[in-house]
Structures are given as C-alpha cells and as structure tokens.
C-alpha cells in the first residue's frame, strides 16, 4: 500500500465549478499535512498547510480527519488558472521528510 494515496483524475470541470480532491495516508503518526500544486513541467509549490480544525485560503478549503487518516481539498469557483496537478503531502514526523502522493490532475475549461 502506498503511504499517500490520491485519485489520479483527471478532473475536467467548467469554470466556476466546485471540485473536491481526497487523499488518504497510512502512517497514523504523521504530524503535518500539506497540499502542493505542480504545473506541467514545473516544480511543486506549496498551496496550503492543512490543520486539524480545517482552514481556508480564499477559494481553497482544506480539511483533515486524523481518525480516518483522510485529507481533502475543496476548490470553489474554479478558474482556468487552477488547472494543474494537486499533490497531497504528508510529513511523517521527525525532521522534515515529505511523502508525496502521485497527484490529482485538474483541468478547468471555459
């Protein structure tokens, strides 16, 4: 079983749609959680951290369920510029090693 699992997609949605991505992780001792965004042939960039209480950054909302070892990302009012691969990322603890999911591809069309 992979340490971090994501639906690979692709998710094809029209502009303005709401889309949700899910992710599960296997290590119950994991300490911190993130969503990264990766554009085609570019490096990953931090989108947002994920906190236990849930957190929001503009159109983006992240949720964490430690009991179910489940992380989600909700994007509201999708823009063309949101088209990218979204990577679910887990820090299993200790120093700062990150474990990446394979990513979920999002394509927003006019």
Partner 1 sequence: GAGVSQSPSNKVTEKGKDVELRCDPISGHTALYWYRQSLGQGLEFLIYFQGNSAPDKSGLPSDRFSAERTGGSVSTLTIQRTQQEDSAVYLCASSLTRAEQYFGPGTRLTVT
Interacting residue ranges for partner 1, rule: CB under 8 A = 4, 32, 34, 42-46, 49, 87, 91, 95-103
| Residue whose CB is less far from partner 1, 4 or 84 | 4
Closest approach of partner 1 to the CB of residue 19, in Å: 20
Instruction: Using alpha carbons only, give the angle 98, 102, 31 rounded to the nearest 5 degrees.
Output: 30
Strand-strand pairing, 70-75 and 99-100: unpaired
Judged by CB, which is closer to partner 1: 14, or 96?
Answer: 96
Min separation Cβ 96 and partner 1, Å: 5
Q: Are strands 99-100 and 19-25 parallel, antiparallel or unpaired?
A: unpaired
CB nearer to partner 1: give 40 or 67: 40
| Distance in Å, CB of 93 to partner 1, minimum | 11
| Paired tokens of 76 | 């509201």
CA-wise closest residue to 76 among 22, 15, 23, 34: 15
């Amino acid at each position: 079983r992979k340490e971090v699992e994501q639906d690979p997609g692709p998710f094809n949605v029209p502009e303005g749609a709401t889309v949700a991505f899910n992710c599960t992780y296997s290590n119950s001792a994991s300490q911190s959680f993130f969503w990264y965004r990766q554009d085609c042939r570019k490096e990953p960039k931090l989108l947002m951290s994920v906190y236990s209480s849930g957190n929001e950054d503009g159109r983006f909302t992240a949720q964490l369920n430690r009991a179910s070892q489940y992380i989600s990302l909700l994007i509201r009012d999708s823009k063309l510029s949101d088209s990218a691969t979204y990577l679910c990322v887990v820090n299993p603890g200790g120093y700062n090693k990150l474990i990446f999911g394979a990513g979920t591809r999002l394509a927003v069309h006019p």
